[in-house]
Structure 1
Amino acid sequence: MSDCQREALRQKALAEIELLDTAPEREFDALVRSAQRLLSTGMSSMSLVNDDRLWFKARCGLDYPAIPRNQTFCTTVFEAEEALVVPDATLDPRFADAPFVTGYPYVRYYAGVPIRLSHSDGSQVTIGTLCVLDRSPREPVAAELDALSELACVAEALVDARAAAVRATRAAEDHRIANELLERERRLLKQAERMAEIGSWRYDLASKKTSWSDGVFAIHELPVSGGVPNDEILAFFAEPDRHTFIEQVKVTLATGAPLQIDAELTTAKGNRRRVRCSCEVELSKGRPVALIGMLQDVTARHELESRLLRLARTDDLTQLSNRAEFNRVLDARLGDLRNDGGEFAVLLIDLDGFKEINDALGHASGDEILRKVADQLRKTCREGWFPARLGGDEFAVVVPTCTSAADLAPQVDRLLRNLDIVISEGGRIGRVTASVGIAWSREAGEDRATLLHQADAALYAAKRSLKGTARTYGKVRTGKRAG
């Protein structure tokens, strides 16, 4: 190790033990006094070597707390990292001209040993010295140097204990800070759970026990103090969502693929909620040990999305489905036919005399007519029929496959009668009837555009022939004129 590396290591060690420039301590003072009495010298000290000075942690017979690092006995000790004995400094060329020899305190005799700090890896670094000094020369005695070395061992033990205490204090402080940070994060997590209406859960595969965060208890409307109802957890989920969740969990365990599903949940207080469930496998040493996941209350979001979806699919005036929803349902029915076979019909309905009512009685009366038409469609249509307003005074109905042509005819006649509507406004009377065009899916080749084109052609054929009647595409007029 180079001198620069050794010096850097020494300064780092001194900084870590936090001993420089500390107040006097009884243990170190007693050690220095013991060295002075044991070796019968006028002075003694325990010094630490800083960048540019020699600082005395403890001293006897010396008036100053620190001296410059250069040209000192102790500097030679820690640089050589071995004991030093100087019988008569005036005869030693290294120190004869030193200020502390030629001037106060007129040192003649010096004996010093290094003080080392041990590292956790077993290595040591010299951080200072334990020494005795006297104003009279004397011959060194081996036993005295041995005694000084033994006292240095005590000094090292004190320094090591100090270092251990500093490390323990730092560790305790780090632990305190970590606990504070953990507690802060826990509070933030709880706030986030409350704000996002979300919670976390963990299912231990070995114990078959589940743990919940506070957020999951809140979603289930259960007190945290009551613990997790392990045997009843799945009972909170409604079918078929419960079965779907169980099957998806099996897939996750088998493949490791995470899952996320939305499900209906009934809380402990009987309130229905829409929740989003996520789940993934927790591994330990490559083996699954638990299932972990999140549970989020998405009821408000689901209701908002449902309302927006209804608005997007519903005609605002009549509250019937709109053209976009009609086309979606029609495409779905056609898709079912391609898979399952069968046949269904589409009724295209156009009001006769509607423009005249708008012109004569006003748009408010026209709107009232449209609402009455919607009411009659809802009243007349059987279960499984799908009525919609396509726009203006044009309506449509998808008739399910369970309805035959023979069964459809009287239903269309009833519809024509119910759509013969009279309205009065300001002493004036208006009347509308309806013409109906019928087309069958098989005739149209199960193609939406063709099916609607055929229904439209049948509708205008009925209008040309006799308004207020119905006609099936490709056939003669069906249905009687209303009234």
Structure 2
Amino acid sequence: MSPADLTTDVFADETRRVAALHALALLDSEPEREFDALVALAAEMLDCPTALLTLVDSERLWIKAAAGGERGEISRDIGMCAYTIQNEDPLVIEDLGDDVRFALNPLVMPSDGARFYAGAPIHAIDSGGERHAIGSICVIDSVPRSLNDAGRRALMHLATLAETTIAARAAAHQAIAIATTADRQAAALARQDRIFRQAERMAAIGSWRVALDDEQVEWSDGVYRIYGLPVGDMPEMPVAMGFYPPHARKELAGKLDRAITTGEPFDVEVDFTTVQGEARRVRVLGERETVDGTPVGLVGVFQDVTERHALETTLRRSADTDSLTGIANRAAFDRALEAAMARSHANDTPLLLALVDLDGFKAINDTLGHTAGDDVLRGVGRVLQAPWLKNSFAARLGGDEFGLIIEDPEMIAVAEQVCVRLQDALRFPIALNGLAMVSAGTVGLAALEPDCHSIRDFVHRADTILYQAKRTRVGERRRSDNRNAA
């Protein structure tokens, strides 16, 4: 192939790619909660201050969603995401200042500019079935850093979730457009009906209508499919609502009543149970239908989002969990402690915070190796989840430091006994390759005072008590050693 032919092919590919992007009607669009939630999850999972979902147009990068940054556009020439879409794998630049492509980039040059970038390409399928990279989901930090394999996999999972969300959005828009215009296009009704049914199957979606005068329900085939009912076996409105568990039924009924009364559209995700008893997650969109200014019904879209919801839940759980011990990590602990403090102050109920620091953990690592050290950390995680702690919130705060949030009144009433029992439980043997040592931990237990309103102050108080206890234990061991020596 000649250079001229190659240039022509590249130009044609870019033209098709940009056309596929424009067909999605995502550029210059309003914020959407799914994409905002996605970048917030990316920033949280990868512990970066900034996360973006970008769309790469012919001359610009449009920032569709941003966590820790601003939506809008920048020139394609200076955007790192323009390079990301050229690859299938994530693009990771540990130090932008050392990369010749970006060292003089205006986004990098300021002292507080970008220094770390990691992005994964996002793809969309055009009308001809061809797959194109239309943008990226990326995280940015102002300091150089690295990204391990787990982080790269998480970034790819997030990109897959973005692609699924974009595809579902496109299918939903297509289904709504078809449903709205079907009665105006009688000549093309059969063709449009086939397209509509295909869109329903592809996106696990259906349309519905409820008449306000007699509550008569109308469903498309897709709704029957989600319910697990034969097409045509139409239940009455109270029966249809019975497939939602009580909490979801109450929430959805409130949205329906508000739409009827005020005309306010709604978009809600709730739990749902099929005719076969299978638990699912569904998204329900609806708005009031009027004729000559008079409300006559509610119309909307019904979608099975179980797989997407499960993936989001898995990713969020991963973001909140310490991978080694299986208990919560520092970010989840901070949120849980803030919520517990708010409940304590609001309800005038007691609250205890226990901080745990392992004694001699470095010696175990140095003597028995890091495998044994990891076993110790996992053992502490199991101790902090013991049934006698009555579902107290346990977290690994970093290294060999742990935290425990105690709200149970009976446990708080015997706080000293809890402290002693916890320290006893933290003392257990560890052995490897014929060598044995004993793991132990010191506990600092602090009660929330009425004038304490910040996590920092509460943790500082518990930390102070912890190290007072640690110094006391060290002193006791020294005195015991002296007596034994004598």
Normalised to the residue count of structure 1, the TM-score between the two structures is 0.58
CA RMSD between the two structures:
2.0
Q: Find the counterpart in structure 2 of residue 209 from structure 1.
A: 216
Give the CA deviation at 1:401. Answer: 5.8
- Taking the aligned partners of 1:268 and 1:332, their CA distance within structure 2 comes to 38
Aligned length: 293
1:308 lines up with 2:329 in the alignment: no
Deviations 1:14-46 (A, max 9, x none): xxxxxxxxxxxxxxxxxxxxxxxxxxxxxxxxx
Give the CA deviation at 1:417. Answer: 1.0
Q: Find the counterpart in structure 2 of residue 382 from structure 1.
A: 389
Report if the CA contact (8 A) 1:365-1:425 is conserved.
yes
Q: Find the counterpart in structure 2 of residue 245 from structure 1.
A: 252
Report if the CA contact (8 A) 1:444-1:450 is conserved.
no
Residue 282 of structure 2: SS of its match in structure 1? Answer: strand
- Change over 3 Å in CA distance of 1:208–1:245 after alignment to 2: same
1:269 lines up with 2:268 in the alignment: no
Q: Find the counterpart in structure 1 of residue 449 from structure 2.
A: 442
Alignment of 1:278-317 (within 5 A): 278-317=285-324
- Taking the aligned partners of 1:428 and 1:467, their CA distance within structure 2 comes to 24
Give the number of the structure whose alpha-carbon radius of gyration is greater: 1
Report if the CA contact (8 A) 2:217-2:234 is conserved.
no
- Taking the aligned partners of 1:212 and 1:467, their CA distance within structure 2 comes to 72
Deviations 1:203-237 (A, max 9, x none): 01123210001110111011104234545101100
Alignment of 1:191-230 (within 5 A): 191-230=198-237
Deviations 1:328-362 (A, max 9, x none): 00111122233222221100000101111111111
Q: Tell me which of 189, 197, 214 is aligned to 1:182.
A: 189
- Change over 3 Å in CA distance of 1:183–1:467 after alignment to 2: farther
Give the CA deviation at 1:406. Answer: 4.0
Give the CA deviation at 1:443. Answer: 6.4
Q: Find the counterpart in structure 1 of residue 330 from structure 2.
A: 323
Deviations 1:257-309 (A, max 9, x none): 11121111110111110111112110001000011111111111111111111
Q: Find the counterpart in structure 2 of residue 452 from structure 1.
A: 459
Residue 275 of structure 1: SS of its match in structure 2? Answer: strand
Residue 349 of structure 2: SS of its match in structure 1? Answer: coil
- Change over 3 Å in CA distance of 1:381–1:235 after alignment to 2: same
Q: Tell me which of 296, 320, 345 is aligned to 1:338.
A: 345
Residue 378 of structure 1: SS of its match in structure 2? Answer: coil
- Change over 3 Å in CA distance of 1:467–1:197 after alignment to 2: farther
Give the CA deviation at 1:366. Answer: 0.7
Q: Find the counterpart in structure 2 of residue 39 from structure 1.
A: none
- Change over 3 Å in CA distance of 1:222–1:336 after alignment to 2: same
- Taking the aligned partners of 1:253 and 1:261, their CA distance within structure 2 comes to 16
Letter in 1 for 2:280: R
- Change over 3 Å in CA distance of 1:265–1:251 after alignment to 2: same
Report if the CA contact (8 A) 1:345-1:401 is conserved.
no
Deviations 1:396-454 (A, max 9, x none): 10111624654122122111111101111111002111101112211661321011011
1:369 lines up with 2:396 in the alignment: no
Report if the CA contact (8 A) 2:411-2:418 is conserved.
no
Q: Find the counterpart in structure 2 of residue 260 from structure 1.
A: 267
Report if the CA contact (8 A) 1:212-1:228 is conserved.
no
Unaligned runs of 5+ in 2: 1-183, 477-486
Provide runs of 4+ in structure 1 moved above 6 Å.
none
Residue 213 of structure 2: SS of its match in structure 1? Answer: coil
Deviations 1:372-391 (A, max 9, x none): 11111111552241111111
Q: Find the counterpart in structure 2 of residue 164 from structure 1.
A: none
Residue 288 of structure 1: SS of its match in structure 2? Answer: strand
- Change over 3 Å in CA distance of 1:332–1:231 after alignment to 2: closer
Q: Find the counterpart in structure 2 of residue 358 from structure 1.
A: 365
Residue 229 of structure 2: SS of its match in structure 1? Answer: coil
- Change over 3 Å in CA distance of 1:249–1:398 after alignment to 2: same
Letter in 2 for 1:464: R
Report if the CA contact (8 A) 2:283-2:302 is conserved.
yes
Report if the CA contact (8 A) 1:444-1:454 is conserved.
no
- Change over 3 Å in CA distance of 1:225–1:256 after alignment to 2: closer
Unaligned runs of 5+ in 1: 1-176, 470-483
- Taking the aligned partners of 2:411 and 2:322, their CA distance within structure 1 comes to 29
Report if the CA contact (8 A) 1:380-1:415 is conserved.
no
- Change over 3 Å in CA distance of 1:237–1:380 after alignment to 2: closer
- Taking the aligned partners of 2:410 and 2:334, their CA distance within structure 1 comes to 20
Comparing 371-380 and 314-323, the one that deviates more = 371-380
Q: Find the counterpart in structure 1 of residue 35 from structure 2.
A: none
- Change over 3 Å in CA distance of 1:365–1:341 after alignment to 2: same
Deviations 1:62-120 (A, max 9, x none): xxxxxxxxxxxxxxxxxxxxxxxxxxxxxxxxxxxxxxxxxxxxxxxxxxxxxxxxxxx
Report if the CA contact (8 A) 1:385-1:399 is conserved.
yes
Q: Find the counterpart in structure 1 of residue 434 from structure 2.
A: 427
Residue 242 of structure 2: SS of its match in structure 1? Answer: helix
- Change over 3 Å in CA distance of 1:431–1:369 after alignment to 2: same
1:411 lines up with 2:418 in the alignment: yes
- Taking the aligned partners of 1:261 and 1:427, their CA distance within structure 2 comes to 59
